Structure 1
Amino acid sequence: MPGLFQRMKAIFSAKADKALDKLEDPRETLDYSYTRQLELLQQVRRGVAEVATSRKRIELQAGQLNQQMEKLSVAARRALEAGREDLAREALTRKSGLQQQLTELQTQHAALQSEEERLVRSSQQLQARVDAFRTRKETIKATYTAAEAQTKISEAFSGLGKELGDVGQAIQRAEDKTAQLQARAAAVDELLASGALDDPTGLAQDDITRELDALASGAQVDNELAALKASMVGGQPGQLGGASAEVQGELPAGTFEQPPAPGSTAESSTSENLR
């Protein structure tokens, strides 16, 4: 039984790792790691600030002790000048106690200063590592994004991509339907033109009917043109019409009769006849 449970645990662990691997985005993981490093760097900087604050506090206490010791020295000198050796001894005793406190403060100050310097160096090193990691992170993210896009494009062209593969199939179906409709339209036009199908509107005609209609239309145009010419020639009054015909018969082909010049004999005779 223990072996069975261990095996089931290993199987579930493998399944979970595989599922997490599919869900994991390296870019998000890198951004999270960078954020964590910034938080740690901020903690180190806060530690440096706290140590520096403690060091500064000790320096202020040491300054106050030095002032008190200076006052006690002045007081001991004045007591001796006044003949009060007991007061001078008391002042020097207090000064000795303050001196011990000052020594302890100096020891703490040295330790804090050493710790501060160490933290500053660590902060600088960590800052350099964070900057280097940020540069590498952005490079990896850009490379991963480009590789992901290239993979999707390659899969789209090869038809392996699921989403774009469906789009390709839809385009193929649309092209097939378009070709089928075009072929059907061309077939119907051919059947209507050949007369195999009747046009309910009566507008469609076969080739023979169109040729006959064209010949009839041409003959009608020729007849109307001849009638128009006859009406233009035969519509002149009596002799003028005949004279014109005779003149036209005497003139060479391709020439036209010139009108009489103003004041000529022909014009005068014509005027007399008219009168």
Structure 2
Amino acid sequence: MGILSRASYVIRSKLNALLNRAEDPSETLDYSYEKMRDELQDVKKGIADLTTQKKRLEIQRRRLEENVEKHNEQAREAVRHDREDLARQALEKKQQKMAQIEELEVQIADLQETQDTLVEKKNELQDRIERFRTEKETMKARYEAAEASTRVSEALSGVGDEMEDTARAIERSRERTEEMEARAEAMDELADTGAFDQALSGEDELDRELREMRSNSEVEAELDTLRAEMGKESPAPTEREADSEVETVDADTDTEAEPADVDEEAVEAELEELSEEEQ
């Protein structure tokens, strides 16, 4: 197969597939039904024209028959007046008219036969059209039912074009939602670790520990000042406080140590007890 032949074959195949996809059986059936009805109208028109021609010949035959009767009367009258010559002319005209009548009768008979044939064909075509109309409606109903069933099946199975687009949209939305949830969890985790506070304050871990140590020192200095004003001596450091001082010293030497957490509620409770004892 040559290149041109192959190209022609491919083009015809593509066009055929395109036409098959574009063809609507309902529209095709309706078009065929209308074509058949047009053919029926043409047959009826042909029968009407043929009948008109036959009627014209019949009218012409009746006139000739009237002339034949007229020529008979003329011949009788001529004989009564002993004018055989005129009677002979009248009879000759009668014979001519009768010959024409015979020719017309043959033509009329042929037209009648043709008319009868056309009427039979018209009736047959009309019956065929009626059967086709019934079959057409049945086929259209079956096609519409099959089409609806196909759409439902595609919707349930998800193989239709629209369902594929919907499935892809749902998948993209799911991926986007999971991404946003993961991002939100990551933001919460960073907020719990104080990463945002450090980023906003501009302090690193070493700066934060040094600031807390200075704050603790200032608290102890104010506490010593209060003891001095009230004439109280500083209590001897307990084992826990000694350990705390050791930890403070270690913090000075090792900047990676973390300060002890202060129980604010316990401190407030002790302060309230002292206030009640003084009162």
Question: TM-score, structure 1 length as denominator?
Answer: 0.62
What code does the residue aligned with 1:18 have? A
Give the equivalent residue in structure 1 for 2:118.
119
Unaligned stretches of 5+ residues in structure 1: 183-275
Partners in 1 of 2:177 and 2:126 — Cα distance?
A: 64
Alpha-carbon distance in structure 1 between the residues aligned to 2:36 and 2:167: 45
Matches of 1:18 and 1:167 in 2, distance apart? 27
The equivalent residue for 2:36 is: 37
- Structure 2 partner of 1:89: 88
Q: Per the alignment, do residues 9 and 176 of structure 1 end up closer, same or farther by CA in structure 2, a change over 3 Å counting?
A: closer
- Deviation of the 1:56 alpha carbon: 1.0
Q: Secondary structure at the match of 1:109?
A: helix
Residues 156 and 165 of structure 1 are in contact (CA less than 8 Å); yes or no, is this contact kept in structure 2?
Answer: no
Tell me how far apart the structure 2 counterparts of residues 166 and 17 of structure 1 sit (CA, whole Å). 28
* Structure 2 partner of 1:25: 24
Q: Secondary structure in 1 aligned to 2:159?
A: coil
Supply the AA of the counterpart residue of 2:19: L
Alignment partners' CA distance in 2, 1:98 and 1:46:
32
What amino acid maps onto 2:122 in structure 1? Answer: S
Does residue 66 of the first structure (1) align with residue 69 of the second (2)? Answer: no
Counterpart of 1:136 in structure 2 is 135
SS in 2 for 1:83: coil
| CA distance, structure 2, for counterparts of residue 24 and residue 135 of structure 1 | 21
Superposition RMSD in Å: 3.2
The amino acid that maps onto 1:29 is: T
| Stretches (4+) displaced over 4 A | 168-182
Could you tell me which amino acid in structure 2 is paired with residue 4 of structure 1?
I
Asked if structure 2 preserves the Cα contact closer than 8 Å seen for 1:72 and 1:95, the reply is yes
Q: Return the letter of the residue paired with 1:143.
A: R
Q: Which deviates further from its counterpart, 121-130 or 6-15?
A: 6-15
Give the structure 2 partner of residue 163 of structure 1.
162
Number of aligned residues: 195
* Structure 1 Cα separation of the partners of residues 168 and 153 of structure 2: 16
Give the partner amino acid of 1:57. R
The CA distance in 2 between the partners of 1:9 and 1:181, in whole Å, is: 55
Q: Distance in 1 between matches of 2:180 and 2:16?
A: 53
**For residue 113 of structure 2, what is the amino acid of its counterpart?**
S
Partner amino acid for 1:145?
Answer: E
- Alignment match, 1:15: 14
Identity fraction in percent: 43
Measured after TM superposition, the shift of residue 168 of structure 1 is 5.1
Whole-angstrom CA distance in 2 between matches of 1:6 and 1:168: 43
- SS at 2:86's partner residue? helix
* Aligned residue number for residue 213 of structure 2: none
Equivalent position SS for 2:2: helix
2:79 corresponds to 1:80: yes
SS at match of 1:88: helix
Q: Distance in 1 between matches of 2:177 and 2:14?
A: 48
Q: Quick one: distance in 1 between partners of 2:58 and 2:147?
A: 59
Q: Distance in 1 between matches of 2:5 and 2:29?
A: 33
User: The residue matched to 1:160 in structure 2 has which SS?
Assistant: coil
Q: Which amino acid aligns with 1:95?
A: K
CA–CA distance in structure 1, aligned partners of residues 60 and 33 of structure 2: 41
Aligned to 2:214: none
Structure 2 unmatched runs, 5+: 182-279
Q: 1:122 to 1:93 in 2, by over 3 A?
A: same
Residue-by-residue CA offset, 1:190-241 (whole Å, 9 max, x unaligned):
xxxxxxxxxxxxxxxxxxxxxxxxxxxxxxxxxxxxxxxxxxxxxxxxxxxx
After superposition, the C-alpha distances for 1:153-179 in whole angstroms (9 at most, x for unaligned) are: 111111111113434555677789999
CA distance in 1, matches of 2:23, 2:131: 23
Once the 2 structures are TM-superposed, how far is the Cα of residue 44 of structure 1 from its aligned partner? 0.6
> CA contact under 8 A between 1:65 and 1:102: conserved in structure 2?
yes
Q: 1:166 to 1:8 in 2, by over 3 A?
A: closer
Matches within 5 A, 1:121-270: 121-167=120-166, 170=169
Q: Does structure 2 conserve the Cα–Cα contact (< 8 Å) formed by 1:27 and 1:141? A: yes
Structure 1 residue 11, shift from structure 2 partner: 1.7
Measure the CA separation in 2 of the matches of 1:29 and 1:94.
63
The residue that corresponds to 2:220 in the other structure is none
Change in Cα spacing, 1:176 to 1:13, as seen in structure 2 (3 Å) is: closer
